[in-house]
Structure 1
Amino acid sequence: MAVKKEKPLHSLIAGATAGGIEAFSTYPTEFVKTRSQFSGKKQGAISIIKETLKTKGVAGLYSGCTALIVGNSTKAGVRFVCYDHFKHMLADPQGKVSAPRSLLAGLGAGMMEAIFAVTPSETIKTKLIDDAKGPNPQYRGLIHGTTQIVKQEGIRGIYRGLFPVMMRQGANSAVRFTTYSTLKQFVQGTARPGQNLPSSITFGIGAVAGLVTVYTTMPLDVIKTRMQSLQARQQYRNSFHCAYRIFTEEGLLRFWSGTTPRLARLVLSGGITFSVYEKVIDLINGRDVLS
């Protein structure tokens, strides 16, 4: 099946909208996942939620949320624009994209979003969450926190963990887009020509793509979180040293800490992001969106 090329501006608008809605909707799971990956005592998801609600209230579950919404909107916009661009660069003369080429397009899109959007927003979000768990937080919000991080550590301070973020985002996008595109093409192949897929089907395909993504990229996510924590400079020389210490001191399974909340988020994320993206694209292009 030949793929249709969307206009970059349309992909950017639809992707940014989908990213912002997804980030806010699923943020508590991201908060719990990040907290569970810090070094120190191991805590389960329920324990973290209870402790946070007791000490910080519901607002505590949204510490660092603004940073993720801004970053996620930018990330999703960059992701869809770059993926669409790379996908059509790699398409064959008939306009078809094989699974390996879709994987390569997703990898390229992931690398671009890591550099331009994900690393700064994830670093700030992680530091805000890490800071908020103490009794006397030093950061008063996104703007103040960003200003202080840059003042104390320079621009490098918001680009900590760039390598694991690039690896994670590249793997995330490669796995997610390849799984989504493959399943979507399979389902469309069984539908009537020209028929739009119902939102429920799009959501389901996106959710499966999120599920596959979680288990294949979890170790990179744990390393990324550790490298962006407040204590990273004192504990780890680089990403490889971080991975070595986690493996030797905490065991192999520690690389999958935070899997449950991340799984909850990415399954919902995949469904929400692809569903909203497809609907916004349909609205922009004036297609029938009631199916």
Structure 2
Amino acid sequence: MSTKGTEKEKPIASLIAGATAGGIEAFVTYPLESLKTQLQFHADAKTTPWSLLKDTVQRRGIKGLYAGVPAVIVGNAVKAGVRFTTYDQFKSMLKDDQGNITAPRSMLAGLCAGMMEAIIAVTPSETIKTKMIEDSKRDVPHYRGTMDGVRKIVAEEGVGGLYRGVGPVMLRQGANSAVRFSSYSTIKQLAQGSLPPGSVLPGWMTFGIGSMAGIITVYTTMPFDVIKTRMQTIEAKKEYRNAVHCAYRIITEEGVLKLWKGTVPRLGRLVLSGGIVFSVYEKVYPVAASFLS
């Protein structure tokens, strides 16, 4: 995600760095993702992240917080690789003659990157994760593991079963990437402007900028995430005709604030996620680019 003048990004280096950052970030932050998803299942406003954490650990142990994690690590590595590769390529196309990119153009590049990752990687992995987490709370789980879950989903719902909620996922990922990349790039440029010319941002500052971008992303895109989760639940086909119907039922039956249910664990996850993924990417990219030169 180089911003150095007219330097051209290397797609393979972007893919390697993005996939590495995505895999590490997924494993570290998965318990928060699990709690966020479980909160979105519950209509009860009294259910809290802390009560869910205690209940999950008591019923399933620590491993209960990692139900469905293999699919998410693989999916996150792929989607981060796709996200950074496509973002860097779209960004290169949208730079001006001086090699700079404005915030609106950075947002457009992020939107396109998010749409691409939603179709290629995010929807299948998110569907598997959501169903695995929901199934793990049953007294007698239907799925014996991730691979068994994938096999049964395809057998019972067809390949299309892996793409439940693709519309909300595309909206969420497009919005996520547009907001995250544009806010990260804007804050990073401001930070670099305060340093001597040619200086490299220290790791702690990169982590902090990524975390700030995560906070902005959470509050602006949370409704898409809630609708996406509901559309990917085991009973979604019986409950909702489409994403619009899902949103209508949530608002009319549970209140508009339900669209921000799960904000606390998602906020915790994306603050860490933003810091980790951008920090790892900024460290791995130059190494990969140098190795491929």
Q: Indicate the TM-score class for this superposition, using the shorter chain for normalisation.
A: over 0.9
| Residue 186 (structure 2) pairs with residue 172 (structure 1) | no
Q: Which of 259, 273, 276 pairs up with 2:280?
A: 276
Equivalent residue number for residue 71 of structure 1: 75
8 Å CA contact 2:16–2:288 kept in 1: the answer is no
| Whole-angstrom distance in 2 between the partners of 1:203 and 1:182 | 15
| Distance (Å, rounded) in 2 between the aligned partners of 1:172 and 1:4 | 26
Measure the CA separation in 1 of the matches of 2:11 and 2:172.
24
Letter in 2 for 1:176: R
1:77-117 C-alpha deviation (Å, 9 max, x unpaired): 00000000001111112211110000000000000000000
Name the amino acid aligned to 2:217. T
SS of residue in 2 equivalent to 1:29: helix
User: Which secondary structure state, in structure 1, belongs to the residue aligned with residue 179 of structure 2?
Assistant: helix
Instruction: Return the alpha-carbon distance in structure 1 between the equivalents of residues 6 and 170 of structure 2.
Output: 27
Who is 2:227 aligned against?
Answer: 223
Distance 1:262 1:5 in 2: 34
Out of 10, 14, 24, the position equivalent to 1:7 is 10
Report the residue type matching 2:137 in the other structure. K
Measured against aligned partners, the alpha-carbon deviations of 1:173-230 in whole angstroms (never above 9, x if no partner) come to 0000000000111111121222111100000000000000000000000000000000
CA distance in 1 between counterparts of 2:77 and 2:93 reads: 24
1:239 corresponds to 2:235: no
Alignment correspondent of 1:160: 164
Residue in 2 that maps onto 1:181: 185
Q: Give the whole-Å Cα distance in 1 for the aligned partners of 2:108 and 2:279.
A: 23
State TM-score, norm by structure 1: 0.96
Q: Is the 8 A contact 2:35 2:49 kept in 1?
A: yes
Q: TM-score, normalised by structure 2?
A: 0.96
How far apart are residue 283 of structure 1 and its match?
2.3
Contact kept, 8 Å, 2:9 with 2:92, in 1: the verdict is: no
Looking at structure 1, the residues matched to 16 and 290 of structure 2 have their Cα atoms a distance apart, in angstroms, of 15
Give the aligned partner of residue 32 of structure 2.
29
What amino acid sits opposite 1:19 in the alignment?
Answer: G
- Aligned equivalent of 1:20: 23
Aligned length: 287
Q: Which ranges of structure 1 fall in alignment gaps of 5 or more residues? A: none
| SS of corresponding position for 1:284 | helix
SS of match in other structure, 1:206: helix
Q: Which amino acid aligns with 1:14?
A: A
Deviation, 1:239, is 0.1
Give me the whole-angstrom Cα distance separating, in 2, the residues matched to 1:255 and 1:117: 24
Runs of 4+ residues deviating >4 angstroms: none
Structure 2: unaligned runs, 5 residues or longer: none
| Pairwise CA RMSD | 1.2
Assess, with a 3 A threshold, how the Cα gap between structure 1 residues 8 and 285 changes in structure 2: closer, same or farther: closer
User: Is this contact kept in 1: 2:10–2:289, CA < 8 A?
Assistant: no
- Equivalent of 2:212 in 205, 208, 212: 208
User: Percent same amino acid among aligned pairs?
Assistant: 62
- Between stretches 63-72 and 191-200, larger displacement belongs to 191-200
C-alpha displacement of 1:132: 0.6
- Counterpart residue identity of residue 20, structure 2: T
Cα deviation for residue 4 of structure 1 reads: 3.3
Q: Distance in 2 between matches of 1:105 and 1:286?
A: 25
Letter in 1 for 2:253: E
SS at match of 2:201: coil
Q: CA deviation at 1:285?
A: 4.0
Asked whether the equivalents of residues 32 and 45 of structure 1 are also in contact (C-alpha less than 8 Å), the reply is yes
- Quick check: 1:2–1:97 contact (8 Å CA) kept in 2? no
* Mapped pair 1:131 → 2:146: no
The CA deviation at 1:5 is 2.6
Q: Within 2, Cα distance between the matches of 1:190 and 1:249?
A: 49
Deviation at 1:286, TM superposition (A): 5.0
Cα distance in 1 for partners of 2:134, 2:6 equals 43
Select which of 30, 37, 41 maps to 1:38: 41
In the alignment, residue 68 of structure 2 is paired with which amino acid?
Answer: G
